[in-house]
Amino acid sequence: MIALQTAAAAGLTRVGLQSARAAEPAAVDNAPAIVVGSGYGGAVAALRLGQAGVRTVVLEMGRLWNTAGPDGKVFCATSAPDQRSMWFRSRTEAPLASFLWLDLVNKDITPYPGVLDRVHYDNMSVYVGRGVGGGSLVNGGMAVTPPAAYFAEQFPTVDAAEMYGTYFPRARAMLGVNTVDPAWFESTDWYRFTRTSRKAATAAGLKTTFVPNVYDFGYMQREAAGTATRSALAAEVIYGNNQGKRSLDKTYLAAALGTGNVTLHTLEKVRAVTRAADGSYLLTADRIDLTGAVVETKQYSCASLFLGGGSLGTTELLVRARDTGTLPDLDASVGAGWGTNGNTMLARANHVWDTVGADQSTMPVMGIDDWANADNPVFAEIAPLPIGFETWVSLYLAITKNPERARFTWDSASKTVKLGWSAAQSAVSVAMAKKLFDRINAANATIYRYDLFGSPSKVFADDFCYHPLGGCVLGRATDGYGRVKGYKRLYVTDGSLVPGSIGVNPFVTITALAERTMARVLAEDLAP
Ligand code: FAE
């Protein structure tokens, strides 16, 4: 597998294995296939198209993250965020707003196409990755395969045996999934925080389970031994990992470029899609510079269009296309079926003797698994709070089985897409998380932390999520394989296919479903 080609500069707009084709064409740039977005869904599409010999262009609105900044690093430190941290912000917006109610976390920055975005809707904001690799650049790397029964409940028309026999294993192998060495886990200071949370869960009679990750645990052990440059052990995660993590630019996308058939254009945001009389798709994309100014508006055309802009990006494009009349035959269900995967963050205060340690790895490796509890299904990831001193805090990302769903709609006045999520819908997740953690607090005689999520004494972070899912749900807005209803050769391959909840961290499911779509589409629709 090769590494991504070195970019000449951060503002580079075109990367290929061979040298980039010469000048930008003045008019329409044609390709047999175009992929919008380079997260999990987009990366799988690009690789499988490239391997099948289909010349493919990938359009990504974020930048390529392979150029060192003035500090010699590609990504900035979490503790000292600079312009690289967030997508066109003048101040960072970290998930944990405060510590001891003090605004110690967020910093003023210069607007720039940074790697983490927080997209604000009414009552809900959504964290997403921006750049070549999408969410894989900023996420916690937890690579979880959902319980088969819940997968079947969410995807009743998908052959679960084929998913678990073929596509989940294929996805895990390509993503480089591995597990922490249990003996090292039990002995290292870097996972004391996890062991302390496990002890509290066990005291409440709850089950915990190890969770795989795409961070290279061999590398992490070398970090701990002092023989490798620290990344997960240097608090790096939400603004990017400089080492250790097998993000998509090192796996699927590197392999896609290695086919020689895939070209990647960065800092280009697709804003409109329509169809020409001959059935090809016409795309309008704004190319921005590092200040965010639109420096060029480009036109593309392709016979086959693969949408991998993520739940927000893909759904926004399609809702806009349907409701402004550029793709009027899209199904009425486009925009519907969106959920937060029941995400709620919270923290507990441990007793003074139950330390969590000043040293904390940023890669979670364990969850409290109470999903089988029909009364209150919750899977809670034991999350780090790596701020470099003892806090006695146990932090969690609870994934609850919240059945609430919302719809994206086109607002013609503001020319934007709105999300109809309400605070009452978040309250459903909070109630489920609270039920589980009240139990843990009762068993351990502990309390919640009140100082981490802003506004006086907010215990449950109910206003943001990391797992946006749905909007173009499989089998509703598309057929059973991601082919968009109403249009030939238009496909969705990303998290918008998942109907609002999958019960675990979602990227393995998104990747496996994309593998399934690509296998079917290449065999049936694009066969030579
Ligand atoms: P995604 O990875 O978001 O990729 C979409 C790409 O398309 C992005 O690069 C966009 O910049 C680009 N794009 C969007 N619209 C356009 C457009 N119009 N034109 C051009 N480009 C566009 O989508 N999941 C896990 O399974 N395990 C974890 O540990 C985990 N931790 C997380 C931690 C954080 C902080 C965050 C933010 C997310 C986390 N997630 C985790 C969620 C996971 O990253 C997410 O489900 C996937 O990245 C979604 O994959 P998609 O392919 O749907």
Which of 236, 268, 467, 515 is the catalytic position? 467
Which of 268, 381, 404, 515 is the catalytic position? 381
Q: Is 175 helix (H, G, I), strand (E, B) or coil?
A: helix
Closest protein CA for atom 34 of ligand 1: 139
How far does the centroid of ligand 1 lie from the alpha carbon of residue 101, in Å?
Answer: 30
- Residue 4 pLDDT > 60: no
Q: Which two tokens stand for residue 184?
A: 């090292």
Q: Which of 210, 271, 505 to mutate to test the pocket of ligand 1 (most atoms within 8 A of CB)?
A: 505
Closest protein CA for atom 27 of ligand 1: 142
How far does the centroid of ligand 1 lie from the alpha carbon of residue 188, in Å?
Answer: 31
pLDDT of residue 340: 98
- Residue 15 pLDDT > 60: no
pLDDT of residue 102: 66
- Residue 436 pLDDT > 60: yes
Query: Which residues line ligand 1 at a C-beta cut-off of 6 Å?
Result: 36-42, 59-62, 127-130, 134-135, 138-142, 238, 269-270, 308-311, 313, 317, 466-467, 494-495, 505-507, 510
The C-alpha atoms of residue 112 and residue 60 are separated, in whole angstroms, by: 16
Cβ atoms < 10 Å from Cβ of 90? 10
Confidence class for position 348, pLDDT limits 50, 70, 90: very high
Confidence class for position 154, pLDDT limits 50, 70, 90: very high
How far does the centroid of ligand 1 lie from the alpha carbon of residue 136, in Å?
Answer: 7
Q: Is 431 helix (H, G, I), strand (E, B) or coil?
A: helix
Q: What is the distance of C-alpha 118 from the center of its chain?
A: 12
How far does the centroid of ligand 1 lie from the alpha carbon of residue 133, in Å?
Answer: 8
How far does the centroid of ligand 1 lie from the alpha carbon of residue 244, in Å?
Answer: 19
316 is known as an active-site residue: no
pLDDT of residue 56: 98
By the 8 A CB rule, do 106 and 79 touch?
A: no
Residues in CB range of 416: below 8 A, 6 or more apart: none
Burial class for 147, CB neighbours closer than 10 Å (0-12, 13-18, 19+): middle
265 is known as an active-site residue: no
- Residue 457 pLDDT > 90: no
pLDDT of residue 80: 87
Ligand 1 atom closest to the Cα of residue 496 is 53
By the 8 A CB rule, do 349 and 395 touch?
A: no
The C-alpha atoms of residue 436 and residue 252 are separated, in whole angstroms, by: 37
The C-alpha atoms of residue 178 and residue 212 are separated, in whole angstroms, by: 6
- Across the chain, mean pLDDT equals 94
By the 8 A CB rule, do 482 and 502 touch?
A: no
